[in-house]
Amino acid sequence: MVKIIVNSLLLLLLISCSSNEGATTNKRNSFLPDAQYNGDYVWLISDTATWKGAFGKTIQADYSNPYSVFPQDEKSYRVTFSEYIGLNDLMKRWEVMIFAVDLNKDTRLKQYVLRKFQSKLKGHDIEYESFMLKDQWANGQLVVYLIGVSEQALLRGYKKQEQAIRDMVDTHVMTRAVKSVNKLTKNKNSIKEVDSAYSFNIQIPAEYTSAGNLEKALWYLKDIPTGYQSIVFYSTSYEDSSDFNSEKIIQERDKYLSFVQGESDEEAMVTERRVAVEDKVISIGNQYCKELRGLWRLKGAFTGGPFVHYAVYNPNTKMIDHVDVFVMAPGDKKKPLIRELEAIVQTIKF
């Protein structure tokens, strides 16, 4: 049996390394408005000097880095800065907010944070503290507070939690994307077809329709103005952990997805080897999964785009199920298209 590794979930528990606040999750409050969903933005609330200094530059570098393995530069997030002078109703509906507080500066933000966390901070020698709150002013909102006795302490403390905070933001945004997928009308026939073939449930939106009968795979397409979004399913046998070797998975991918073709049989899909394929271990449906991100192209043609491949252990069939999502959208931004496909995969249940 393959062991389940869920590093990202463990990292979320580290967000309050130096306090007892931890991750506070509130039940949905019908009196709160919904957060303005925009998975492109991270709002940083701080003072201008901190924003322009080393801390602000670190935040921008962390969240404005390119989305993994895209043919063109598309930033993971847009970091937007605001000086704290109080929060109006619109600001209180921002989805992802990071408050960065330098206690060495006498600002309105310092006074606000000291009042808010008075019981947590009173009587303590503060070097660095962090708190995470969900749904503080709006449903579906994530608010992170980072508090340092100086800008240097703020930066040191943040660097220790850097990956944990980023994973938490990514998880929050993906959770919202999954909720959006779950609200869509479903293709019930396709859902039954996948369940019958592979013994798991996945929520396939109605806009994704069958691309035809294939001998060893199921293929669904969603037409978009410049091309399509695609999701393919197939299975391979599982003997031991070597079957999750990334190179082996890519070789099998090129074999199984050769039915994706251009105008001729010679123009078949292959993995673009001139760009490194990124891989990591995640959990899908509480099962071990190897995730690979890369670029695909058609041999002998100029068509290509990004893909994300999931090789996940199926406890029902004792097989490895492969779910490959890819996009063909020349000239369009790929991030929202890939993110929707990623969210669909995250609905898998065994």
User: pLDDT tens digits for 288-346?
Assistant: 999 999 999 998 777 889 999 999 999 999 999 999 999 999 889 999 999 999 999 99
pLDDT the model gives residue 1: 47
Give yes or no for a contact between 35 and 94, defined as CB atoms under 8 angstroms apart: yes
56 and 166 Cβ atoms separated by less than 8 Å: no
User: CA separation (Å) from 200 to 203, 228, 233, 309?
Assistant: 10, 25, 11, 17
- The CATH classification number of 186-345 equals 3.40.1000.10
Contact (CB, 8 A) for 193 and 217: no
Write down the architecture of domain 7-182 according to CATH.
Answer: 2-Layer Sandwich (3.30)
Crossing angle of the two packed helices 54-63 and 151-183, in degrees rounded to 10: 20
Q: Does the pLDDT value for residue 67 go beyond 70?
A: yes
Domain spans in the chain, listed from the N-terminal domain onward: 7-182, 186-345
The four Cα atoms 106, 107, 109, 110 give a dihedral, to 10 degrees, of: 10
Question: pLDDT tens for residues 2-15?
Answer: 444 334 433 444 44
User: Does the pLDDT value for residue 23 go beyond 60?
Assistant: no
Classify 348 as helix, strand or coil: coil
Question: What pLDDT score does 336 carry?
Answer: 93
3-state secondary structure of 72: coil
- Mean pLDDT, all residues of the chain: 89
> What is the band of 136 on the pLDDT scale with cuts at 50, 70, 90?
very high
The distance of Cα 271 from the centroid of its chain, to the nearest Å, equals: 22
* Beta bridge mates, 142: 96, 134
Identify whether the C-beta of residue 292 lies closer than 8 Å to the C-beta of residue 277: yes
The letter for the amino acid at 85 is I
Residues 113 and 18: their CA atoms lie apart, in Å, by 16
pLDDT per position as a tens digit, 195-228: 999 999 999 999 999 998 788 999 999 999 999 9
Q: What percent of the chain is predicted at pLDDT more than 90? A: 75
Q: What is the pLDDT of residue 264?
A: 64
Contact 9, 293 (CB under 8 A): no
Note whether 334 and 74 are within 8 A (CB).
yes
Q: How many CB atoms lie within 10 A of CB 75?
A: 15
Instruction: Say if residues 66 and 73 touch (Cβ distance below 8 Å).
Output: yes
Angle at 140 between CA 161 and CA 38, to 5 degrees: 85
Closest by Cα among 113, 101, 112, 94 to 51: 101
- Residue for token pair 């409050």: 29
DSSP H/E element including 109: helix 108-116
- Which of 127, 64, 67, 124 has the alpha carbon at shortest distance from 101? 127
Q: 123 falls in which pLDDT band (50, 70, 90)? A: low
Of 240, 242, 244, 230, which is closest to residue 312 (Cα–Cα)? Answer: 244
The owner of tokens 């995470």 is 132
pLDDT for the residue numbered 6: 39
Helical (H) or strand (E) element with 223:
strand 218-224
Weakest-pLDDT range from 5-9, 189-193, 253-257: 5-9
Burial class of 10 by CB neighbour count within 10 A (0 to 12, 13 to 18, 19+): exposed
